[in-house]
Chain A
Amino acid sequence: MPYRYILLESLRQLRNVRALAFTFVIPLVMLLIFGSLYGSSGQQEQRSGLPWLIVTTVQMASYGGMLAALSQAFAITTERSIGWNRQLRITPLSGVGYLVSKVAAALLVALCTIIVLCAVSIVVLGARMDALHWFTAILGIWIGVIPFALIAVALGQYARPSFAQPLFTVVFLGMAILGGLWIPLEVMPTRVISIAQTVPSYWLNKLGQIGANGAGNALLPIVILAAWTVALAALIAWRYRRDAARA
């Protein structure tokens, strides 16, 4: 694996402030609004016993992490359309190495977003939890973001630049709403709740909540997210082989 390239490429995406501002501002504003709305009175969620502020923080960190990972799709479509990939093909970097670098970049950008959102919640909104639970919550969300890094790569492979934006919007809106990242699913009709349990964003949030709680069965979310990961990797590999065969 070309580790040096992957490292430089991930840092490059992290430095790309303009794209980050876009993915970061929306969850930040939502965190500040919902956090002060639900958090000030110190209510607790009934089932998990977690303070609402923590529940909201995990939701928004999940949302921010997901958005950051998904936005790597634009980097891929842009690079494909301007011909940067063609330039990279005259280097030892393989197609697989390129895709791995994009997944790594998506995960790094997502991790930074998750950490910053949690930090804002602590500093600005006064969210309190012991360090271990912050750590497991962040870890849980980060693991949950893995399928979204792969969705970003798949979007980048499949979408033409003109089509990337609408496709991205549909995917992230659907994932955010169905996964209960914006509005608690409890207010939704039961049919929506059963659909929600098939999308990875639901389990991403769930894994974060389990991490924050320090208790609960993490096996089911991990199995379902792993299944998504394998399915997406297969889709990406299939497309990659088809593109290579067409050259």
Chain B
Amino acid sequence: MARDGAPVEAWAMTAPAIQLTALSKNFGSVHAVVDVDLQIHRGEVVALLGPNGAGKSTTIDLALGLSHPTTGTAHLFGDDPRAAIVDGRVGAMLQGGALLPDLTVAQTVALVASAHRAPLPVDEALERAGIRDLAARRVSKLSGGQLQRARFAVAVVSDPELLILDEPTAAMDVESRRDFWLSMRQFTAEGRTVVFATHYLDEADFFADRIVILGAGRVVADGTPGEVKSVVSGRTIRFEVDSGETDAAAAVIPHLPGIRSLDRRADRFTLVTDDSDRTLRALLDAVPTARDIEITAHTMDDAFLALTTKAPLPRPTKAAHLTKAV
């Protein structure tokens, strides 16, 4: 791994937080993760998106060394994942990792802290999770959102450089989600690395510097939120035409400027365009009876659907793929 004769230690100092190389994992005949190459640098905040069964949790388990890859390797900070965990450099909130119901929040954090070599004081871990007031509360009495924050306190008690969060805001209401991401901002402001899997695309859009989308165990997109959204750039124009004029309209519309795709259901048309202003002006000239016109911008959801509905995909810039998604 050492580059051009650089000493190995120097490489280890700057090794990426996460390095997955040709990683695959099979469960019997199920290919949960297929040939994933992924490098996450220090200080990055990366969202891992994908539908259920896309391989997010398996990828996280492999990265943490909780599960052995069928082929390929996983390294954290240039080292074996277990070594990074033992050093206290990694914190995680995992799927299916629960807390003991009969302990209080403070006892839970203290118990996990006692297993670490150089943990934060319990109070500070609670402070970082914003749940100092819940210290004496029993875990069984916590609400869904409070429980997630208690698990966050457990994840940060080793003062990790890398946090891996598998659906951290599941079971949170809107307000707790906002509070949670605010405390995450504090955490990442200090240059730490965060990788989080989520179902909430707006969270990824709002909080991540980089979005990695998994579909059927493969990486189907990797880029900034802007880049990922631009995969389905453009806008959608929807309108209706009076029944008598549908066929005439259908003849003209494909020749409008900027059009990438066209879908027609009876009297209702849906166009995807790269330049909605120009398309709309031309449309009003060519089909003056068009009515109930709606123009919508593409959202992260559209990008997500476009990328994951038919994985594995080539870069889906062709209209053929988009018609399906729009």
Contacts and interface: CB of A to CB of B under 8 A. Distances in A.
Interface of A: 2, 4-5, 7-9, 12, 16, 79, 82-84, 86-93, 97, 245, 247
Contact of A2 (B100, B103, B114): B114
A90 B94 contact: yes
A91 B91 CA distance: 8
A87 B85 contact: no
Nearest to B158: A91
A97 B87 CA distance: 16
B90 interface: yes
A26 B67 CA distance: 43
B96 to A, nearest CB: 5
28 contacts: A2-B114, A2-B115, A4-B114, A4-B115, A8-B110, A9-B111, A12-B107, A82-B101, A83-B97, A84-B99, A86-B66, A86-B96, A86-B97, A87-B112, A87-B151, A87-B154, A88-B112, A88-B115, A90-B91, A90-B92, A90-B94, A91-B85, A92-B85, A92-B87, A92-B115, A92-B116, A245-B68, A247-B67
Contacts of A97: 115
Contacts of B102: 16
Interface string B68-106: 100000000000000001111011101011111111000
Contacts of B88: 92
Interface residues of B, number: 32
Contact of B68 (A82, A83, A86, A247): A247
B194 interface: no
Q: Do most interface residues of chain B lie in helix, strand or loop, or is the interface mixed?
A: loop
A63 B154 CA distance: 38
Q: Do most interface residues of chain A lie in helix, strand or loop, or is the interface mixed?
A: helix
A79 B64 CA distance: 20
Given A84-B100, A247-B68, A90 B117 contact: no
B94 A87 contact: yes
Contact of B85 (A4, A79, A90): A90
Nearest to B67: A247
Given A2-B115, A12-B111, A90 B101 contact: no
